[in-house]
Amino acid sequence: MNSFFIDNGANELQTADIVSQPAVPLSPSTNDLPTLGDGECYHVFISYSSTDYQWTHSLINQLESCGLQVCYHERDFTPGRTVLENMSDCIQESQKVLLVLSQEFVRSRWCLLEANISLFRDCLQRKPIVPVLLEPGVSVPLHLCHLTYLEANDPDFKNKLLKVLCTPNHQLQGSTVVPFQPPSIYNGKALLPLIAVNDEGLNQWDCGLFSDMEVPDQLRLIIQDHEKYRKAVRMINSVSQNKVWFRPLWVRVLIYFTGVIFFLIMAAFSTVLAFATGHPLITKDKVHPTGAWLITTIIFYCVPLGLFIQISLWKNDDIKYIVREMQKAIGQANIILSEEKVLMGCCSNSKIYLVYINLNGCKQEFAETFSEEGSAEDMFQRALTFFSSGYACCLAKRHFPFPQPSTTGHLEGGVCFCQYVSQQLRTDQWVQQ
């Protein structure tokens, strides 16, 4: 694995195509430089693509002329060590991380690896990360969309950048950096699915359990309130606790044999009654052939055959029952998660699909449609409960059970949520998915 990183890095550093960008006219700042703490050697580590070498080094020279200690790979990586080791240590030794985001940066695995490591450090130690959009229209990676950013073509870029870099980390709450809104290119895209922690050995008629201890990395950077995720998962796990406690196989066999024993007791009672009325199937001296046939059929044929049929029906029903109950719980959970632009869906008992989706446009459509009734919010939540699980599955699998609508919805190049609900209602499917 290390050799892969080395070769990838070498190829990146040797790229000859250099895109000329306008120089950033930074001038020495009078701001007090932040004091380097224990283990810190640099004020900022800069990650960039070699195609942006000219613009970035112009920036580096001007930052260093202001007295800032800048770290970058071409000069400060230690020869003989793996790229991954160098990268991790340099980020650890820097107060902040600056990402020069361009189309080439996004395409480069090398640069994205640096970004991922810096995000990992940020999660652990709250290390500030400052993305700089070098050019308009950059498709910012989804795992960076939660960060604040600066635009290189902003007339006030130099002042904003110096203010951020010269502000102590614990004071950056009031910085002038503005929130970055995820571009529409990520809207409707699937994230990695969640797999049940009890997936191994999980029967189809059992309910999967999902961990609510740790928020997955992909969601940690999207969902701001992590407790919402944990609450949503607990709602799904409640299906196992509340819906399947009476459905284990041994309980069903016990119930079935209890019924069989009851039937035999009733048959014995009928035989005794027949004997008392003068029409016995069983007498002291012999068993009437009809009685013998009846008893043999019950014990050796009806009981095993009935047990087999019942277990088969129970199993088949349970597979549908469990998924149906999980979909109900996921619909309720999506009322919470939709506020964080995430939806869940399931088609089986062991896997939950996750999609990144902005429902603001669809919610506004509900508000306009049901404005007179005054129940727009209730109708939207009801739609989430009934249809959001199936919608998330369709988005994740990139397949809808109906033709693409002719009208344009709120999801560019795809079916939006209100279009999906409309299609389901046309088929009278206002039922749990």
DSSP 126-153: ---EEEEE-STT----GGGTTSEEEETT
Domains in the chain, start-ordered, CATH in brackets?
Answer: 2-185 (3.40.50.10140), 187-433 (no CATH)
Residues 109, 64 contacting (CB under 8 angstroms): no
* Interatomic CA distance for residues 326 and 243, integer angstroms: 10
**Tens-of-pLDDT digits for all 433 residues of the chain?**
222 222 333 233 222 233 334 444 455 444 578 888 888 999 999 999 889 999 999 999 989 988 899 999 999 999 988 777 888 888 889 999 999 998 888 877 666 666 666 666 555 566 788 889 998 778 777 667 667 788 898 888 988 898 888 888 877 654 445 556 666 667 888 888 899 988 877 777 678 899 888 888 667 667 878 899 999 999 999 887 665 544 555 666 666 667 667 666 766 666 665 555 555 554 545 545 555 555 555 555 566 656 665 555 555 556 778 888 899 999 999 999 999 889 999 998 899 999 989 999 999 999 888 877 668 889 999 999 999 999 999 999 989 988 888 888 899 888 999 999 999 888 755 544 4
Q: Which strand ranges, in their side-by-side order, compose the sheet holding 148-151?
A: 70-71, 42-47, 94-101, 129-133, 148-151, 178-179
Structure tokens at 199: 């997936």
**DSSP code for 185:** G
- pTM (two decimals): 0.56
Q: What's the rounded Cα separation, in Å, for the pair 336 and 225?
A: 10
Tokens of 374: 């005054």
Contacts of 248 (CB under 8 A, 6+ apart): none
Q: Distance between alpha carbon 147 and the CA centroid of its chain, in Å?
A: 18
Separation CA 386–CA 382 (nearest Å) = 6
